[in-house]
């Protein structure tokens, strides 16, 4: 009888504690998640921080967090396994004492350009013997932007180095003494009347006022997402298009460093939530040319958030420039192929006073560019 009563009492205790955890196991539990960075480049490490707090007297023997995550945000061990197919679930297991806070840091790697939001996390807990479990979904929104890799300018199959030189000359025609573009270190031959004495005193080295230029030419870098004319068909060579986006970012970086007013465009569209999914035809992507200090960051952000899909074919994208009367612009286009219709649009743009160069990218095709002299 004594053993029987012991068993009965234990069963009652198990039942009661199971009911207790089912009812209030997740009450007083708070969870926060954040990335330590807003953006990284491909291949760089991202630190994600989990913070969970038990705000009640009842201890939590175990609590499990599960969150769906892109396969392109992975740990080092997952990278070695080269796991890339489908979404993954990031799981973390805790146990919490009364009024305890636990913070865990996870080192992830952004392996591919993109914008990766994390919205909700599934939280499961239960009693210590596994009699019952209770589940809840917590809102824990955060996001990380992964920029494309930058490559050396010499690795980009541009038409020629003189092409870049010609563009630079176009912009550095007349220095305007009334336009300030920041300061820089003094170099031999700089006029003494350009010395900025306040900046010199602050930095303890000679600094001069950097002048801007009055030339109104611009550089637009385009990436053609077309691998076929029918936009209902999927993109056949996404890896090649990704390479074109990497080239575009790298060239923009170089051009802006040279003081060239640079912009970016493509016939793709932004991922959610940066585009209206109810629009039948989504707007194409354009970053207007500028050489401001933030321009490269704007271009990088735009390229990172481009969806690998098309809003329209590329000839329709070029038609938008024609309709707006685009002029005095140097255009370089990274494309898998050049169609006859695209050639006609380019010729029209040239007739408006633009200079256009096409760089064909892809397997065995990066041998140079097809030049269109204005």
**CATH number, position 326:** 3.40.50
Mean pLDDT of the chain: 82
Output 76 or 45, whichever has higher pLDDT. Answer: 45
Q: What Rg, from alpha-carbon coordinates, does the chain have?
A: 29
Torsions phi, psi for 57 (to 5 deg): -75, -30
184 and 295, same domain (yes or no): no
**pTM over cut 0.85:** no
296 and 275, same domain (yes or no): yes
In a domain, 18, yes or no: no
Give 291's pLDDT tier (boundaries 50, 70, 90): confident
Residue 179: its pLDDT value, please? 42
- Measured in whole angstroms, the distance separating CA 90 from the mean position of its chain's CA atoms is 21
Residue 347: its pLDDT value, please? 94
- Side-chain-side CA neighbours of 291 within 13 Å: the count stands at 23
Domain extent, residue 357, equals 153-173+215-372
Which of 76-85, 315-324, 348-357 is predicted least confidently? Answer: 76-85
> How far apart are the C-alpha atoms of 305 and 309, rounded to whole Å?
12
In a domain, 259, yes or no: yes
- What digits encode the pLDDT tens for the residues 335-350? 998 888 899 999 999 9
Please report which helix (H) or strand (E) contains residue 36, including its range: none
237 and 300, same domain (yes or no): yes
190 and 107, same domain (yes or no): no
Average pLDDT of span 39-57: 93
Residue 322: its pLDDT value, please? 95
Closest CA to 243 of 308, 289, 179, 297: 308
Output 308 or 84, whichever has higher pLDDT. Answer: 308
Residue 171: its pLDDT value, please? 53
In a domain, 2, yes or no: no
Residue 80: its pLDDT value, please? 54
In a domain, 16, yes or no: no
Output 368 or 217, whichever has higher pLDDT. Answer: 217
Predicted confidence (pLDDT) at residue 218 exceeds the cutoff of 70: yes
> How far apart are the C-alpha atoms of 230 and 219, rounded to whole Å?
29
CATH assignment of the domain containing 63: 2.60.40.10
Predicted confidence (pLDDT) at residue 367 exceeds the cutoff of 60: no
pLDDT > 70 in the chain, percent = 78
184 and 115, same domain (yes or no): no
34 and 140, same domain (yes or no): yes
In a domain, 21, yes or no: no
Please report which helix (H) or strand (E) contains residue 24, including its range: helix 2-24
> How far apart are the C-alpha atoms of 289 and 354, rounded to whole Å?
14
164 and 75, same domain (yes or no): no
In a domain, 4, yes or no: no
In a domain, 158, yes or no: yes
Question: What residues does 46 pair with on adjacent strands?
Answer: 108
Look at the chain and report how many structural domains it folds into.
3
Q: Which two tokens stand for residue 340?
A: 């006859």
In a domain, 290, yes or no: yes
38 and 141, same domain (yes or no): yes
């Amino acid at each position: 009888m004594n053993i029987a009563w012991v068993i009965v009492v234990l069963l009652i205790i198990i039942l009661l504690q199971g009911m207790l955890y089912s009812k209030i196991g997740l009450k007083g539990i708070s969870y926060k998640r954040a990335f330590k960075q807003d953006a990284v480049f491909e291949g760089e490490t991202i630190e994600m921080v989990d913070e969970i707090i038990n705000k009640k007297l009842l201890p939590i023997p175990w609590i499990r967090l599960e969150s769906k995550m892109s396969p392109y945000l992975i740990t080092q061990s997952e990278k070695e396994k080269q796991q890339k197919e489908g979404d993954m679930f990031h799981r973390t297991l805790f146990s919490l004492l009364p009024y305890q806070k636990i913070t865990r840091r996870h080192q992830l790697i952004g392996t591919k350009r993109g914008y990766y939001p994390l919205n909700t996390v599934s939280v499961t807990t239960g009693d210590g013997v596994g009699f019952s479990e209770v589940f809840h979904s917590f809102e824990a929104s955060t996001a990380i932007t992964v920029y494309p890799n930058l490559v050396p300018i010499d690795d980009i199959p541009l038409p020629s180095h003189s092409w870049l030189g010609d563009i630079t000359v176009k912009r550095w025609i007349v220095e305007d003494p009334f336009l300030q573009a920041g300061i820089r270190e003094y170099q031999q031959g700089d006029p003494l009347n350009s010395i900025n004495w306040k900046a010199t005193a602050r930095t303890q080295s000679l600094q001069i006022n950097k002048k801007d230029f009055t030339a109104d030419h611009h550089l637009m870098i385009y990436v053609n997402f077309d691998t076929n004319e029918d936009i209902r068909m999927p993109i056949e060579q996404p890896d090649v298009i990704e390479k074109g986006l990497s080239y575009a970012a790298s060239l923009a970086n170089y051009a802006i460093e040279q003081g060239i007013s640079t912009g970016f465009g493509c016939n793709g569209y932004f991922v959610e939530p940066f585009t209206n999914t109810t629009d039948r035809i989504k707007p194409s992507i354009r970053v207007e040319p500028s050489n401001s200090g933030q321009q490269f960051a704007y271009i990088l952000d735009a390229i990172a958030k481009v969806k690998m899909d098309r809003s329209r074919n590329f000839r329709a994208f070029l038609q938008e420039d024609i309709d707006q009367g685009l002029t005095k612009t140097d255009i370089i286009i990274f494309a898998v192929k050049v169609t006859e219709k695209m050639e006609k649009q380019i010729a029209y743009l040239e007739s408006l006073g633009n200079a256009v160069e096409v760089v064909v990218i892809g397997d065995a095709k990066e041998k140079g560019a097809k030049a269109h002299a204005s």
